[in-house]
Structure 1
């Protein structure tokens, strides 16, 4: 190669080290640039095509090597619209091409950046510090699902959020087995924890059928009212029991032996009939000889009593039961069976004394008007009282009611619980139709209890323990701010407390990420070598964060020293080659 070749090679070395110095200078200058990716320098030796035994080291070529795949440190930010990508990928951005009628016009081209210092501009666009506009996918306001698949420039509107009427209340609680109501705490008497329907209703007497004919007493022989071979069909509501009578055959189910020691008197016979009626489903039915007559009572005000009689007792023409008549008294069974549908304003104090609080929640009408829903629970029967563990739920529908106007209204059906504290049958939800609270039309509401949301367990305090109480409505809201969640959702906040996801930030990945073309402002353009972008909306975005430059100052200064020394060594080669040429020229003197 000779002296001239050595001189030329040294110059390429100087050029390469100058190129490296330029990259180092740019890296150090951008050590505080958000999302900056440093450029490293690769040196490639250029070997001349010569015979193997005449090969030389050759010249050198300096090339840039991108570090787009190396992440910088993620730092926290006090600005909620700032964001950083934790891992691979780039924000999809688009530059502005100008203004038209005061609004921004876009170029339609996609670029890619790790610079996440986005903030809202005057037109509601998210733009970063380099002037590039963020792109993403809109989210449907109703379903909160992503709408579309092609990224578009995101624009946040500051319009009012329309009101949403409440349609569901999530309501879960435990009801105490023994509610310690004010009335119970006063008396501690058995049954005083139950709602007394007589205090709130004008009850009509029980439905009953009464025997006619001769007077009977409970100690009379059973043959007084029935003979062997007779039949008697009794229907209470939807329950019908067919009785037959025998003499000496024994009592088996509904076939009753009139000479059996357990059924050979009028009282015993009537008691056996009553037991069979209750076992068949007429749980409130009673059969007794009282005041000289036989009365079969339904035990409530709704079920009728009918008889098909074919008995020929010695004292009566069979049971000789007349049409359904009215018992002159109201039994305790009837009072417990009765449902209190409304509580008049005059009875509110007594109602509060016989019930326990079930919590309160504010709901909203379709126009955003708020309504305070107060809930109270009344236990209306219990196993200890001879019935089932049964509750009713009441809502205060008119807090300003007076006189006989209704103030509280029962909602839903009976809530009945088994001995183990679980609902029997299971209750997943309760629908309230046309709810009106203090004149505000709330409409149809579903109380959502869930599979295990309602229980009745013993509670030492005797109060209802509410474990979940929330609703899905809200009033109209004014836009306050925007933020980025850690799953990449753009979230708008309103002064009514609502936060609405309005867009999804997408990221773009590349198979050959270091083959992207670098442009001004920390953005990159796709090239044929990088491949097409692979869009992803799976998250990986950190809100209120920024990615710092991946430049390491100490490493760059180390490379600076090496470059400086290499450059100095290259100059020595030039000096040496110059001296050698001078010596060669001096030979001709």
Structure 2
């Protein structure tokens, strides 16, 4: 069989190279096809059965070798519904076989592809450029969890997104230990950082501090009580006022203190009135309402409620009965225990001046009606005045209120029966306040409903802040108004996300991928899809991501490599033709031997 065998072998080689050329041609033709997987050619030698010493090289058989597991380059595109798989796996798709009553009819069979150029068609389906429809798992719109296990053709609804009532507001902030309100006066009025309930409701009278001296006669001459040249120093909130008694009949006072004329004929009552004027005039705002007079026949210096301390010193105090040593009087503010349930519109400006802003947020009623919820914090007590660190939270319930109608409403924290937010020395609420319930919340006439202010375990604190303002670290809510369909996209978790014009984004489906133990044994079909075979095994579905949105996988064909293979194939084919020519010539010579 020598010559005939060589001829047959050469022909098998020509056939094999032709098969390889066909694969090269197809690879080059699909070099720009999205998700295309090139086909390489393997050559298999066929050895005839013969003794070891008589074996020949044999013929050749060509066969295809898939490259389904070799990924092409991933490039970014502007279409947000396009997607690519980074790594192994295939999109699960299904072809449409017809239409009934205007809706697509599907075959019910799964195919697999790497072609991810999906776009939304008029029916709301995601279909790729080859006409195959994407399959995935639906997502529950409430829980945002996957609600199925069997992939189904994804169809998106472009209907109006219904409104959702606000039921939770995440609210976290730090309150300053010393709130610097508009009314706060750092040096002159201690306690001015606190809310004064007397400005908004009827409370018990303020308790004043009184320093009482000896019993005096108001009509007697003052110079019988004090001597010329004696002084009395009254220090309130660090501001001293020194009054010196002098004889006005000898001329005007020329000393460095404040002169009080006690010449003959000036009664005790007149001298005390002059002392009161001197104290109010020279002592500043802290003693603007202080009085010096006779109370029950006794000399008395009566102070206002905002005093931190009062000290009196005198060169001689025998007549007035005031101790010569320094005397400290702490203010008593019992009205701090009163609770302001609401603030009338007529008192709104005063309330703003005694509180600090806590932020504002838009909330939504059940029908989607929006309203602006404004929050303000007012400190109502402090350890400085013998109480505890207490705050009240108010919200603007009716911005259009007038006169005595309530404008701001106080909030009751759920954890504290007093209705206050109480903070311990460590800056945390005591008792803990993880949330505050606002039942039947109504703002500016809009009934929002029951809303929970969620602070969290450590979301509410009171630490020193040099600015004296509330530092809001979280303020968001879960409600929204109705929205119209705007667009659809696929995120990098493989979730199909629908965007609406109300700013909401709703995850509606999870794209699944299919993996195979022997992906190169899949059967190739038109349109860049594959079908499972007994050799490839059954698909293993997963939804763990690996998907890149707004991207496409290019063909894994390398043009330069294909041209290299083309040159080799061409040369091999030409060499095969030489074998055929040589065998033909040898046969011709054999035939000529019989002539």
Query: Aligned pair in 2 of structure 1 residues 463, 123: CA closer, same or farther (>3 Å)?
Result: same
CA distance in 1, matches of 2:552, 2:368: 39
The answer to whether 1:431 aligns with 2:474 is no
Query: Aligned pair in 2 of structure 1 residues 188, 538: CA closer, same or farther (>3 Å)?
Result: farther
Equivalent position of 1:564 in the other structure: 570
Deviations 1:388-418 (A, max 9, x none): 1110000000000011110000002311112
CA distance in 2, matches of 1:2, 1:419: 105
Residues 84-103 of structure 1 aligned to structure 2 (within 5 Å): 84-103=84-103
Equivalent position of 1:523 in the other structure: 529
Query: Aligned pair in 2 of structure 1 residues 551, 59: CA closer, same or farther (>3 Å)?
Result: same
The answer to whether 1:470 aligns with 2:470 is no
Pick the aligned partner of 1:452 from 454, 458, 466.
458
- Structure 1 residue 576: Cα displacement: 0.9
CA distance in 2, matches of 1:166, 1:205: 43
CA distance in 2, matches of 1:203, 1:582: 132
Contact 2:489 2:497 in 1 (8 A): yes
* Structure 1, unaligned runs of 5 or more: 207-289, 292-330
Question: What is the root-mean-square deviation in Å for CA atoms of aligned residues?
Answer: 1.5
Equivalent position of 1:126 in the other structure: 126
CA distance in 1, matches of 2:41, 2:188: 90
CA distance in 2, matches of 1:183, 1:442: 33
Equivalent position of 1:11 in the other structure: 11
- Structure 1 residue 420: Cα displacement: 2.6
Equivalent position of 1:193 in the other structure: 193
Contact 2:205 2:335 in 1 (8 A): no
Pick the aligned partner of 1:532 from 538, 547, 555.
538
- Structure 1 residue 333: Cα displacement: 4.6
Equivalent position of 2:406 in the other structure: 406
Equivalent position of 1:148 in the other structure: 148
CA distance in 2, matches of 1:95, 1:81: 19
CA distance in 1, matches of 2:176, 2:80: 46
Equivalent position of 1:482 in the other structure: 488
Equivalent position of 1:314 in the other structure: none
Equivalent position of 2:248 in the other structure: none
Equivalent position of 2:580 in the other structure: 574
CA distance in 1, matches of 2:55, 2:427: 94
* Structure 2, unaligned runs of 5 or more: 207-294, 297-330, 413-418
- Structure 1 residue 511: Cα displacement: 0.8
Query: Aligned pair in 2 of structure 1 residues 333, 184: CA closer, same or farther (>3 Å)?
Result: closer
CA distance in 2, matches of 1:527, 1:554: 32
Q: Which secondary structure state, in structure 2, belongs to the residue aligned with residue 122 of structure 1?
A: coil
- Structure 1 residue 124: Cα displacement: 0.4
Give the TM-score normalised by the residue count of structure 2: 0.77
Contact 2:333 2:385 in 1 (8 A): no
Residues 289-304 of structure 1 aligned to structure 2 (within 5 Å): none
CA distance in 2, matches of 1:457, 1:187: 21
- Structure 1 residue 421: Cα displacement: 1.6
CA distance in 1, matches of 2:188, 2:122: 69
CA distance in 1, matches of 2:372, 2:187: 32
CA distance in 2, matches of 1:475, 1:405: 30
Contact 2:332 2:385 in 1 (8 A): no
Equivalent position of 1:160 in the other structure: 160
The answer to whether 1:358 aligns with 2:358 is yes
Give the TM-score normalised by the residue count of structure 1: 0.78
Equivalent position of 1:273 in the other structure: none
CA distance in 1, matches of 2:132, 2:527: 8
Equivalent position of 1:308 in the other structure: none
Deviations 1:71-101 (A, max 9, x none): 1010101000000000111000000001112
CA distance in 1, matches of 2:152, 2:425: 60
Instruction: Give the stretch that moved more between structures: 566-575 or 182-191.
Output: 182-191
Residues 309-388 of structure 1 aligned to structure 2 (within 5 Å): 333-388=333-388
- Structure 1 residue 334: Cα displacement: 3.8
Instruction: Give the stretch that moved more between structures: 382-391 or 180-189.
Output: 180-189
CA distance in 2, matches of 1:204, 1:427: 30
CA distance in 2, matches of 1:332, 1:170: 38
CA distance in 1, matches of 2:353, 2:188: 13
Equivalent position of 2:554 in the other structure: 548
Instruction: Give the stretch that moved more between structures: 479-488 or 446-455.
Output: 446-455
- Structure 1 residue 151: Cα displacement: 0.5
Equivalent position of 2:73 in the other structure: 73
CA distance in 2, matches of 1:353, 1:377: 11
Query: Aligned pair in 2 of structure 1 residues 65, 340: CA closer, same or farther (>3 Å)?
Result: same
CA distance in 2, matches of 1:103, 1:420: 65
Deviations 1:282-326 (A, max 9, x none): xxxxxxxx99xxxxxxxxxxxxxxxxxxxxxxxxxxxxxxxxxxx
Contact 2:204 2:335 in 1 (8 A): no
- Structure 1 residue 186: Cα displacement: 8.2
Q: Which secondary structure state, in structure 2, belongs to the residue aligned with residue 500 of structure 1?
A: strand
Query: Aligned pair in 2 of structure 1 residues 363, 188: CA closer, same or farther (>3 Å)?
Result: farther
CA distance in 2, matches of 1:459, 1:159: 49
- Structure 1 residue 187: Cα displacement: 7.0
- Structure 1 residue 117: Cα displacement: 0.2
Residues 244-259 of structure 1 aligned to structure 2 (within 5 Å): none
Q: Which secondary structure state, in structure 2, belongs to the residue aligned with residue 123 of structure 1?
A: coil
CA distance in 2, matches of 1:188, 1:467: 33
Equivalent position of 1:225 in the other structure: none
Equivalent position of 1:82 in the other structure: 82
CA distance in 2, matches of 1:202, 1:404: 14
